[in-house]
Structure 1
Amino acid sequence: MKESPKNRNKKKAGSYPYASVLFSIFLALIVFGLFGLLLLHTQKLTSIIRENIEVQVYLNKHITENERTKIGKTLALKDFTAKKENQALVTLIPKEEAAEKFIKETGEDFTEFLGENPLRDTYTIKIASEFQTKEKLNIIEKEISAINGVYEVSYVENLVESIQKNLAKIGLVLIGLLIILLTTVVILINNTIKLALFSQRFLIRSMQLIGSTDRFIRKPFLMRSLGHGLLAGLLASLALFGILQYANHKVADLKKLQDLYEILILFGGLIVLGAFISFISTFRAVKKYLKLSLDELY
Structure 2
Amino acid sequence: MKKKKLGNYPHTMVVFSITLALFIIGLFGLLLIHAGKLSEKVRENIEMQVYLERDLTEVQLVRLKKTFAAKEYIAYRNDTAQVRFISKEEGAKEFLSDTGEDYTAFLGDNPLRDAYVLNIDADHSSSPNLKSIKLDLEDIEGVYEVQYVESLIESINSNIKRISIILLGFASILVVVVIILINNTIKLALYSQRFLIRSMQLVGATSYFIQRPFLNRAAWQGIMSGIIASAMLFALMQYAYHEISELQLLRDDEQTYILMGALLLIGCIIGFLSSYRAVRKYLRLSLDELY
Q: Does TM, normalized by the shorter one, top 0.5?
A: yes
Structure 1 residue runs without a partner (length 5+):
none
1:274 correspondence with 2:248: no
1:228 correspondence with 2:221: yes
Partner of 2:32: 39
Which residue of 150, 155, 164 corresponds with 1:162?
155
1:262-281 residue CA offsets vs partner (Å, 9 max, x unmatched):
21221121122111111110
1:72 correspondence with 2:65: yes
Give the Cα–Cα distance (whole angstroms) in 1 for the partners of residues 124 and 262 of structure 2.
33
Partner of 2:195: 202
1:239 correspondence with 2:232: yes
1:194-248 residue CA offsets vs partner (Å, 9 max, x unmatched):
0111110000000111111111111111121122111111111111112112212
Give the Cα–Cα distance (whole angstroms) in 1 for the partners of residues 266 and 112 of structure 2.
59
Partner of 1:187: 180
3-state SS of 1:57 partner: strand
Give the Cα–Cα distance (whole angstroms) in 1 for the partners of residues 209 and 223 of structure 2.
22
Q: Which residue type is aligned with residue 33 of structure 2?
A: L
TM-score if structure 2 supplies the norm length?
0.90
3-state SS of 2:200 partner: helix
Q: Which residue type is aligned with residue 253 of structure 2?
A: L
Report the aligned-residue RMSD. 2.3
Partner of 1:150: 143
Which residue of 239, 249, 257 corresponds with 2:250?
257
Structure 2 residue runs without a partner (length 5+):
none
Partner of 1:95: 88
3-state SS of 2:189 partner: helix
Percent identical residues: 51
Which residue of 211, 215, 218 corresponds with 1:218?
211
Give the Cα–Cα distance (whole angstroms) in 2 for the partners of residues 66 and 96 of structure 1.
19
Partner of 1:135: 128
1:131-150 residue CA offsets vs partner (Å, 9 max, x unmatched):
32333323332333343432
Give the Cα–Cα distance (whole angstroms) in 1 for the partners of residues 237 and 64 of structure 2.
46
Give the Cα–Cα distance (whole angstroms) in 2 for the partners of residues 265 and 132 of structure 1.
26
Of 140-149 and 257-266, more deviation after overlay is shown by: 140-149
Give the Cα–Cα distance (whole angstroms) in 2 for the partners of residues 151 and 140 of structure 1.
15
Give the Cα–Cα distance (whole angstroms) in 2 for the partners of residues 242 and 109 of structure 1.
55
Give the Cα–Cα distance (whole angstroms) in 2 for the partners of residues 249 and 83 of structure 1.
27
Of 129-138 and 32-41, more deviation after overlay is shown by: 129-138
3-state SS of 1:253 partner: helix
TM-score if structure 1 supplies the norm length?
0.88
Q: Which residue type is aligned with residue 225 of structure 1?
A: A
Distance of aligned partners of 1:247 and 1:84 in 2 relative to their CA distance in 1, 3 Å threshold? closer
Equivalent residue pairs, number: 291
Of 108-117 and 159-168, more deviation after overlay is shown by: 108-117
1:58 CA displacement:
1.0
